[in-house]
């Protein structure tokens, strides 16, 4: 059994929108542009889906009434012919995304909209999707993040935090 998430990206109606605008670390982009560009798993959780049949889930999402404000994320899929299912790997995120209603992205909250200089300064490591481009970089970041936690820096820590390979369904 595998899992995926259907997430709705935050918009200006999000209760913490003003806070995001104040904390935004990429000054050359608007809050909307940062959120649109970020392809990780932070947002409003719509559904946490357990599945055995990948093609069925992909088809259900692709032909639903969803629009571009929704993303379906697959975590570490095990299909050899994954490209046949209109999925694209967008990068690696670091955080917690294992339990229903418990999602937290360190990239989103501590690099893009964070205040710990030691993490914000690492944004140059992110790819065009504001994710880590490879697992090596993501694990290096996780190590730095954990070291900062042990030093008493104001970083979010949860023992379930992990690196996630993110695949996104191409919605036609």
Q: 66-85, pLDDT tens digit by residue?
A: 545 556 666 555 555 555 56
Confirm if 43 and 9 have CB atoms less than 8 A apart: yes
Confirm if 104 and 41 have CB atoms less than 8 A apart: no
User: What SS3 string covers the chain?
Assistant: CEEEEEEECCCCCCCCHHHHHHHCCCCCCCHHHHHHHCCCCCCEEEEEEEECCHHHHHHHHHCCCCCCCEEEEEECCCCCCHHHHCEEEEEEEEEEEEECCEEEEHHHHHHHCCCCHHHHHHHHHCCCCCCECCHHHHHHHHHHHHHHHHCCCCCCCCCCCEEEEEEEECCC
pLDDT of the residue at 144: 96
pLDDT of the residue at 67: 45
Domain boundaries, the chain: 2-169
pLDDT of the residue at 64: 56
Q: Is the pTM of this model over 0.85?
A: no
Q: Which residue has the higher pLDDT, 148 or 76?
A: 148
Residue among 62, 45, 46 at smallest CA distance from 54: 62
User: Mean pLDDT of all residues in the chain?
Assistant: 79
Percent of the chain with pLDDT over 90: 30
Q: Which residue has the higher pLDDT, 92 or 40?
A: 92
The string over 69-80, giving b where at least 16 C-beta atoms fall within 10 Å of a residue's C-beta and e elsewhere, is ebbbbbbeeeee
Q: Which residue has the higher pLDDT, 65 or 160?
A: 160
Residue 172 Cα distances to 63, 64, 65, 161, angstroms = 8, 10, 11, 32
Q: 95-133, pLDDT tens digit by residue?
A: 987 665 678 899 999 999 998 999 999 999 999 999 999
pLDDT of the residue at 22: 81
pLDDT of the residue at 49: 73
Q: How many CB atoms lie within 10 A of CB 7?
A: 22
């Amino acid at each position: 059994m595998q899992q995926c998430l259907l997430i709705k990206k935050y918009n200006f109606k999000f209760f913490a929108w003003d806070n995001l605008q104040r904390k935004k670390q990429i000054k050359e982009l608007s809050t909307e542009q940062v959120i649109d560009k970020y392809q990780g798993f932070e947002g409003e959780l719509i559904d946490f889906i357990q599945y055995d049949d990948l093609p069925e889930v992909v088809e259900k999402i692709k032909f639903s009434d969803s629009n571009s404000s929704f993303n379906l994320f697959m975590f570490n899929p095990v299909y050899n012919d994954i490209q046949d299912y209109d999925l694209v790997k967008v990068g690696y995120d670091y955080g917690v995304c294992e339990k229903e209603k418990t999602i937290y992205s360190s990239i989103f909250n501590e690099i893009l909209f964070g205040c710990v200089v030691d993490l914000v300064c690492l944004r140059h490591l992110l790819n065009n999707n504001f994710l880590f481009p490879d697992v090596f970089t993501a694990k290096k970041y996780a190590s730095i993040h954990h070291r900062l936690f042990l030093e008493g820096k104001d970083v979010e820590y949860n023992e379930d935090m992990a690196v996630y390979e993110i695949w996104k369904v191409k919605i036609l």
